[in-house]
Amino acid sequence: MEPLDLFPFLSEIKPELEFIESRILSAEFVTLVAEPKLGQLISLSFIEASFLDNGILYNRKLVENIDDFEHTGENLCIYFCDKNNLSEFEIMIAPKELSVNLGQDKTPRFGKLDVVGMSGFLALMIGGERVENLLVLILAGNWLNLNLDYTYDPVFTSLRDSLKSEGFVSIVSIGEVNEPDLIELPGINPIELNLLKSDWNKINLSEQSTRLSNLVKPLLTTSIGVARLEELIWHRIVVQGWDLDLASQCSRAQRELNSSSNKLVSASRLIDMIIVNGKIY
């Protein structure tokens, strides 16, 4: 799969990632280093999947704090978070600001592609079946980013809409989701939600919209950002074969990781699960 065929608006980041790809392909061995934070773990999963698909020799190193890790030797080392004083044998994959054209008039809007998106795009460039199985998770980075708590995210929307137009995802309301995680929606009435879900296919579009709007009213006075609230209520991302929508997967995985008594072990298991199953939870 050609990444730019699916995400043409990411063309400006390709030269930067081509440089990293060339470093990877010319290296004898690569170390992938991440902290037990969900975005970093998904990022590492993308790159590790591409390495497995292409026979690239590597090892995985999870550390509590990146500042406590020191790279020795001349093998290539890749980080998925800020790391100071990089040597010539170290690379940091970082978020990238870019412009995307949205709407019928193709108005340029500026946003930032998170580390997960950068890693996912790089992994697609390297290629492989496992990578394509993870494709939808390229959305997870911008979803986990706090930007959606404050404003509209044009990069997230562009990624989401591209995946939808190519048939990789469906975008549905919370009334069409089997078991939405409601922790991120404090104040929502679960009884009313379950009634709406049971009636969903029996009522017309107008009534669906009215009941959804009534359901969400108590949330308008909470601290949830309007952009994130819109995604959680009207734009849930689902994939055939998934038990949970993307937002619910992120929420549950994040809670379990945060509450784990051994975060490094839990993080390693999560990476394994992501690569094998193509989902976060």
**pLDDT band at 107, cuts 50/70/90?**
confident
Q: State the pTM of this model.
A: 0.94
| Cβ contacts of 140 within 8 Å, gap of 6 or more | 38, 39, 42, 116, 246, 250, 280
DSSP state of 130: H
| Cβ contacts of 198 within 8 Å, gap of 6 or more | none
**CA of 189: how far to CAs of 113, 155, 183, 209, 219, in Å?**
34, 31, 12, 16, 10
**pLDDT tens digit string along 177-189?**
989 999 989 889 9
Contact between residue 44 and residue 119 where contact means Cβ atoms under 8 Å apart: yes
| Cβ contacts of 27 within 8 Å, gap of 6 or more | 75, 76
| Cβ contacts of 110 within 8 Å, gap of 6 or more | 97, 98, 99, 154
Please say if the pLDDT value at position 267 is more than 90.
yes
| Residue of 16, 17, 21, 48 lying closest to 32 (CA atoms) | 48
**CA of 195: how far to CAs of 73, 115, 212, in Å?**
61, 39, 11
**pLDDT band at 245, cuts 50/70/90?**
very high
The domain spans of the chain are 3-138+262-277
Please say if the pLDDT value at position 84 is more than 90.
no
**CA of 185: how far to CAs of 37, 189, 190, 215, in Å?**
22, 9, 10, 11
**pLDDT tens digit string along 153-186?**
999 999 999 999 999 999 999 999 989 999 989 8
Q: Which two tokens stand for residue 169?
A: 């995802």
